[in-house]
Amino acid sequence: MTSVTITRTTVATANHLTNENCGSLGGYLTARIEKGDEEMSELSRRKMLAALAVTPLAAGVVARTASSDDKVLKTGLSTREKLAKRYFPNFELTTHEGKKVRFYDDLIKDKIVVINFMYVKCEGICMPVTMNLKRVQKLLGDRVGRDIFMYSITLKPQEDSPGVLKHYVDMHNIKPGWTFLTGKPDEINTLRRSLGFKDAKAKLDQDLTNHTGMVKYGNEARQWWAMFPGEANAPWIVECIGWMDGPNAKPIQANHSSSESEMPKHKHAKSRTKGGP
């Protein structure tokens, strides 16, 4: 199998993929990488690999192959355990309701999850992403909190206490199944980078607004992970999340009480953070 490491994708690639069927495209990319197609041009390979960060089925391949040179793979752990140790630090976080939880054990293990970073006093893209994720939650219906779990983690834990986050949740009438989280600043920063919300350039990485435009989603048990732009079309996001149920899953029957015209279209320029396991 071809070994690859992906930390970023181009905005142009993400823009193009929002017009594709996430499931069929993901299967195509997975097959090409697993075969290690030597006839593929280097340019084509780079373009294809860049696409993986927004392709649900193929991203799991990247996560597994990217860790092949890591020391953790020399242990007797299973692939899933190795990925958990590499990408999902089991830090203690606090929910907006004041409950103490562990990131891996309590929040993502054995679950389909949707994860983004935000902060309350954000004047940039945070609020549009939150409003769009509200539409996604509404379209997913009662699956949220039952077998799909949504998490928003503050990038300013020194400001966003559980009480502040609770006020934010109440103010925006966010429904159950979507949890807002805070924790220790250094651990939040490590968690952010481990999940792929990072930039190789230190100055850009320190700019918190660079980490609020993308949303990670995945199926921890299947080791499938991908990302989508937070302002992408909500029904398309729901379709992509649905692929995390597995290749034989039935499409999610979205609650279309909100009209299609109310769904925000993909705003490319603001979706700047890419990458992940």
Q: What is the DSSP track for 207-275?
A: -GGGGSSEEEEEETTTTEEEEEETTS-HHHHHHHHHGGG-TTPPPP---TTS-GGGSPPP-GGG-----
- 49 vs 92: CA distance, rounded Å: 33
* Domains and their CATH numbers in the chain: 11-270 (3.40.30.10)
Percent of the chain with pLDDT over 90: 51
Could you tell me whether strands 112-118 and 148-154 are parallel, antiparallel, or unpaired per DSSP bridges? parallel
For range 26-32, the mean pLDDT: 36
How high is the pLDDT of residue 170? 97
pTM of the model: 0.71
- 237 vs 248: CA distance, rounded Å: 18
For range 6-24, the mean pLDDT: 39
- Across the chain, what does the average pLDDT equal? 74
Over residues 214-254, the pLDDT tens digits come to 999 999 999 999 999 999 999 999 999 998 987 776 666 65
How high is the pLDDT of residue 3? 34
Highest mean pLDDT among 133-137, 208-212, 236-240: 133-137
Could you tell me whether strands 92-95 and 100-102 are parallel, antiparallel, or unpaired per DSSP bridges? antiparallel
More confident residue, 60 or 7: 60
Does 156 score more than 60 pLDDT? yes
Which of 25-29, 81-85, 168-172 has the weakest average pLDDT?
A: 25-29
